[in-house]
Structures are given as C-alpha cells and as structure tokens.
Amino acid sequence: MKNGKSIAENEKAGLGRKEYEAELKDLQVELCRLQAWVKHEGKRVMIVFEGRDGAGKGGTIKAITERVSPRVFRVIALPAPSDREKSQMYLQRYMQHFPAAGEVVIFDRSWYNRAGVEYVMGFCTDKEHRRFLELCPAVEKYISSNGIMLLKYWLEVSSDEQERRFKARIEDPMRQWKLSPMDLPSRSRWYDYSRARDMMLEATDTDSSPWYIVPSDDKKRARLNCIAHLLKQIPYEKVPTDKVNLPEVSKKHEYDDEATLKGRRFIAEKY
C-alpha cells in the first residue's frame, strides 16, 4: 500500500510504472520475510502455475523470485518427457522435484499438463485423461496431509489479449523465443482449451486443494494481486535476525593486489 491507496484503488485510478514498482517492492520485502520463515521453520511450500499460453505465468513467477534466493525458491519448468519418462508412472517425474524442508518449489506448468495440452493436442488418451482427473484430488490431498502447503493458480487471459500478445511475439525479435511449437495450435483451439479448463476445474477444484483464478489481461495487476494473495495463504511470521557487523579487512599479509593485475586482459570499457 502506497500513499494510503490499496491495490484495488490504484487499479481504478490506473496503475503506472512507478506505482507498480513501489507496490511490487513492498510485496517482495514480504516474500523475503516469508523465505526466512520457511527456512527457519523447515516448512515445505509448493506453488503450481497454470493457464493458457500467453497468460503471463513467466512474468508472475519472475516477479515472485527475482529478490529471493534460488536455493529456497526453486522454479521447475520441465521439458517434454523423454521416452524413459513416458514409461514411468505419470506423476513420477514431478515428484522428484517436490520440496524438502526449507524450500518453496514453483511449478511453471505441472502435472496438470495432462488436463490441458496433453488432452487437447492428443498426447494422451481419453482414458488417461479421465483417470488423471479422477485420481488427482486424492493425490493432492495426500500431498497436503503430509505437510506440504500446496497452492494452485490459474492465470486467465481473454481471447483478444492472447491474440495481441501472440502478435507482439511474432513481430518482436526479443520475444520470438517465447513462441513455442504449441502456441499457434493453442490459438486455433481456444474453445477446446476452454472445455479442458472447465473439466479440470470441475474435477480438481476441491476444498482441500482449491484453484485460485488470476485475471491476467493486465499483467502488472495480475502479478501484484497474485503475490498479495499468496502471502495471505501462508501463516508466516517475521523471524528475528542477529545484528550483522561488517568486519574490517585484515592487514595481515597485506600487499598491492591491484598492481598484480597489470598486463592482464581487461574487457573494453564501452559504457
């Protein structure tokens, strides 16, 4: 909250870059406090991000993780399964990345691939899809009952905004890498993905493991709202820290350590 205004009030007034960055900084401070609490208490947190292509999952995850330690906040974005992984139990390749004590694991897409892209694009059978939707709630209940805090976010982007973002990726050479082989087919099959989303929510939005929907046509507001919500879901407390005193450089074994670099290969200072 800045200047007495809440996120909702800023949204009505129009959220500019300065306001966004100020709000984000406050939230990132809280994420650092959450990190300290997770480490201190040995907690295990798992956050799943799903949504259509172009919904803004990557930017939201970056906003969450850019000021915290990658040793505590681990981001898992698995590629397509190998032939060996295809022969395993479906959840097996995801389970090996589940958090240990003192870790927050963020899945940039997850086992819910089976409910979305695999089902729509025909990478799994209808039977496998039904089986997944049937078993998933029980598996997630088991995860939660073993002490892992599981949060699931679905980023919902409109058809018009997805089209705008895809066109921007096509036209901008710095964004073209974001176009995956699945992006263009996903655009043409918009309503197939909508029906897959609806089936997924119907089967797996449970009291013990609910889905939280994040409207993401406005990326800035989506990031702020998602982080603010995430922080409210975890009962963290500020962990007391010892006062840090920066030690003086010891004069023992002192020598001219800058002179010894003369004649070495320094990069050109163009800026």
Residue 148, domain CATH:
3.40.50.300
The answer to the question of residue 231 being in a domain is yes
Tell me the β-bridge partners of 103.
44
The answer to the question of residue 260 being in a domain is no
Q: In what side-by-side order are the strands of the sheet with 148-156?
A: 73-76, 103-108, 44-51, 148-156, 211-215
Q: How far is CA 204 from CA 40, 112, 133, 136, 230, in A?
A: 32, 10, 7, 7, 19
Phi, psi at residue 51, to the nearest 5°?
155, 170
For residue 177, the 8-state DSSP code is G
Determine the length of the chain: 271
The answer to the question of residue 252 being in a domain is no
The answer to the question of residue 15 being in a domain is yes
Residue 35 contacts by C-beta under 8 Å, 6 or more apart in sequence?
Answer: 68, 69, 72, 73, 104
**pLDDT score, position 14:** 62
Pick the closest to residue 140 from 215, 221, 205, 212 (CA basis): 205
Place of tokens 């990069």: 267
**Total domain count for the chain?**
1
The answer to the question of residue 263 being in a domain is no
Place of tokens 């330690």: 69
Q: Which structural domain range is residue 126 located in?
A: 7-236
**pLDDT score, position 111:** 97
Reduce the DSSP state of residue 45 to 3 states and report it. Answer: strand
The answer to the question of residue 60 being in a domain is yes
**pLDDT score, position 266:** 95
- Local confidence pLDDT in tens for the 271 residues of the chain: 444 544 444 445 568 999 999 999 999 999 999 999 999 999 999 999 999 999 999 999 999 999 999 999 999 999 989 999 999 999 999 999 999 999 999 999 999 999 999 999 999 999 999 999 999 999 999 999 999 999 999 999 999 999 999 888 888 777 776 677 777 778 889 999 999 999 999 999 999 999 999 999 999 999 999 999 999 999 999 998 889 999 999 999 999 999 999 999 999 999 9
**pLDDT score, position 123:** 93
CB 153 within 8 A of CB 48: yes
**pLDDT score, position 154:** 98
The answer to the question of residue 241 being in a domain is no
Crossing angle of the two packed helices 126-145 and 190-204, in degrees rounded to 10: 40
**What is the pTM assigned to this prediction?**
0.88
Long-range contacts, stretch 31-34, CB < 8 angstroms, 24+ apart: 31/64, 31/67, 31/68, 31/227, 31/231, 32/67, 32/68, 33/236, 33/238, 33/239, 34/104, 34/231, 34/234, 34/236
